[in-house]
Amino acid sequence: MNFGMPLLILMIAYFIGTHLEKRHFQSILKREDEARGFPVVSFDTMPDNWTASRSDLVSGSVVISLDYFKRVIAGLRGLIGGRIKTYEPLLDRARREAVLRMIEDARSQGYDAVFNVRLETSRLANATRNGKGTAGVEMLAYGTAVKFASRFANAQ
Amino acid sequence: MRFVARQPKEGINVSDTHPLVEAGTLVVGLTAIFVIIAVVLIFMVEVVLYFVSAEDEAKLFDGWLPEDLVTVSYTDERLLETQALVDRLVLHWPDAPYEFRVEIDDSEQANAMALPGGLVIVTQGLLDEVESENELAFVLGHELGHFKNRDHVRALGRGVVLSIFFAALTGNDVAGIGIKSADLTLRSFSRRQEARADDFGLQVVNSEYGHVNEAWHLFERWGGKDDSIIDLVKYLSTHPDSGDRAATMKRHAEEKGWQSDGEITPLSW
Amino acid sequence: MIISNTETIPGRKIVEFYGVVTGNTVRAKHIGRDIMAGLKNIVGGELKGYTELLSDSRKEATDRMIEQAQSMGANAVVNVRFATSSISQGAAELFAYGTAVRVE
């Protein structure tokens, strides 16, 4: 058997995948810093002291996939079970990206806060291999965005 | 109720194990587990071998053929002569528990196989390759040596057990596995098994012809050949290097005081 | 740390809220458990191995969520929701999220 090619692909996948992940995390941190101060809560109802002038459903989603190297590790881990550590950064960054996109959606429409936030994960099955493989993971964040009637309403 | 903007600490939802460390641990650990399981399975085959005698095996595999073997016609002259040669050689193994059957596999790759129940398979490629009856007799004697040491059941047992294990591992249908000649590629004999079979082959050839001339001629030719010949690479990879092998046999024959020159019997084809 | 799946904590008043906190973990089942579960599937009933695996994982996800809340200086997480999703063949994500708050 020829192990050369798969090994080369594994190495390329590792280096590029790691680089992209690092860059994504940097971008997330920067944007989260900018979004600080924008209230995002999972309360079902709006906090009592908020008075809204208008509201709408906002959402943010992202479909993200793992690099080949980490997928191979995850596959090996699947044989013995336990925590699949290589999936955690993927899900973490996907979820934060989805929340950020939701916030950006709300902001671009002039809203001040989002409540009743819900987070969903779903797997996109591969079209090939009887749908056994994973094409990617979709993260969805949605909630109700509100515009405050008074700028200072929520400061009390 | 007041909103205060705060960020949670970074990295709580992410384990800090480096992916390369994780990969290393898994590869080493899984390899160890597989090796242990393989050793246990091979040991189980040995246990079965201990309880199933060659006579039982011959009864069990009476008339059996691998499912997808493509054989040549029963009236083929080469088949009849090879069968006759085996029958003559077996006379020098008086208490042989098998009734040996020869089949010719319709394959270009030069090879011979010992299969359960006394089934000897030689390929078309091998019959084209051999230049004298003495050469062919040695190859057949070598296979008889595998039967004598019961290497054939051992190897087949391992092949089948390991392929079931891998099927279970990869989630394939375990029940769908029969003994096919594809499994036979999983058979591999150790160098020690090959050397012992070689010794027996030489002994049989010496008893039959009174000398061992040309017995290792085939391997001398192969040893001198360029290894890039694809057909042979596979054969050579499971067998000791042909050149070394011829030298070992020569030494062995000298030790035993077997004649290394004598009349060569030509093949009829 | 008070955990609640309603948005209020009975008898307590929320004074400050800090935002959404999350906790997640991805777990794979191992072959041994798979085989046992496969056998158990024939007769039906509880697959103890899996129950244990998932509840362990859920606990870990909750712990991570709590850790996030603590790092924000919260003393309660309200409106907690759990979600389980299959990430790939044989791997499940256990996920918990809620709003980190400070109660009196």
pLDDT tier at C78 (50, 70, 90 boundaries)?
A: very high
In this structure, which amino acid lies at residue B95? D
Cβ neighbours of A121 in B, within 8 Å: none
pLDDT tier at C92 (50, 70, 90 boundaries)?
A: confident
Cβ neighbours of C67 in B, within 8 Å: 9, 12
- DSSP helix/strand/coil, B216: coil
Instruction: Identify the weakest region by mean pLDDT among A23-32, B1-10, B71-80.
Output: B71-80
What would the mean pLDDT of B206-210 be, rounded to a whole number? 89
Quick: pLDDT tens for B21-42: 999 999 899 889 888 887 888 7
Q: Report whether pLDDT(B230) > 70.
A: no
Q: Which chains touch B (3 or more CB pairs under 8 A)?
A: A, C
**Contact residues, C window 36-75, toward A, CB-based 8 Å cutoff:** 53, 60
ipTM for this prediction: 0.81
Q: Which chains touch C (3 or more CB pairs under 8 A)?
A: A, B
Nearest to C97 by CA among C81, C78, C77: C81
Q: From A67, which residue of chain B is nearest by alpha-carbon distance?
A: B19
What is each CA distance from B222 to B5, B141, B176, B217, B231, in whole angstroms? 80, 19, 38, 9, 11
Quick: pLDDT tens for C10-35: 888 999 999 999 999 998 877 667 77
Q: Report whether pLDDT(B176) > 80.
A: no
Beta bridge partners of C93: C26, C85
CA distance A156 to chain B (A): 6
Closest Cβ opposite residue C27 in set A39, A84, A137: A84
Cβ contact A82–C88 (<8 Å): no
Residue B166 token pair? 């891998």
On whether the CB atoms of residues C36 and C53 are closer than 8 A, the answer is no
Cβ contact A119–C86 (<8 Å): no
pLDDT tier at B45 (50, 70, 90 boundaries)?
A: confident
Cβ neighbours of A29 in B, within 8 Å: 10
Closest Cβ opposite residue B7 in set A32, A41, A49: A32
pLDDT tier at B232 (50, 70, 90 boundaries)?
A: very low
- Tell which wins on pLDDT, C72 or B180: C72
Q: Report whether pLDDT(B155) > 70.
A: yes
Cβ contact A42–C88 (<8 Å): no
Q: Which domains does chain A have, with CATH numbers?
A: 4-155 (3.30.110.70)
What number of other Cβ atoms are within 10 A of residue A20's Cβ? 11
Q: Which domains does chain C have, with CATH numbers?
A: 2-28+57-103 (3.30.110.70)
Cβ contact B1–C21 (<8 Å): no
- DSSP helix/strand/coil, A48: coil
CA distance B1 to chain C (A): 4
Q: Report whether pLDDT(B178) > 60.
A: no
What mean pLDDT, rounded, does chain B reach? 79
Instruction: Identify the weakest region by mean pLDDT among A11-20, A32-41, B102-111, B229-238.
Output: B229-238
Would an 8 Å CB–CB cutoff place A155 in contact with chain B? Answer: yes
The per-residue pLDDT for B228 is 39
Cβ contact B9–C71 (<8 Å): yes
Of A68, A87, A117, A142, which to mutate for an interface test with C (greatest number of C Cβ within 10 Å)? A87
Q: Report whether pLDDT(B233) > 50.
A: no
Cβ contact C24–A91 (<8 Å): yes
Beta bridge partners of B114: B120
The per-residue pLDDT for C63 is 95
Closest Cβ opposite residue B13 in set C19, C23, C73: C23
Question: Which of the listed ranges B43-47, B73-77, B91-95, B217-221 does the model predict with the highest average pLDDT?
Answer: B91-95
Alpha-carbon distance of A62 to A42, in angstroms, equals: 20
Q: Report whether pLDDT(B234) > 60.
A: no
The per-residue pLDDT for B229 is 39
User: In this structure, what DSSP letter does residue C99 have?
Assistant: E
Strands B119-123 and B112-115: antiparallel
On whether the CB atoms of residues B72 and B104 are closer than 8 A, the answer is yes
Cβ neighbours of C19 in B, within 8 Å: 5-7
On whether the CB atoms of residues A133 and A57 are closer than 8 A, the answer is no
Q: From B10, which residue of chain C is nearest by alpha-carbon distance?
A: C68
State which residues of chain A have pLDDT below 70.
1-4, 125-135, 151-156
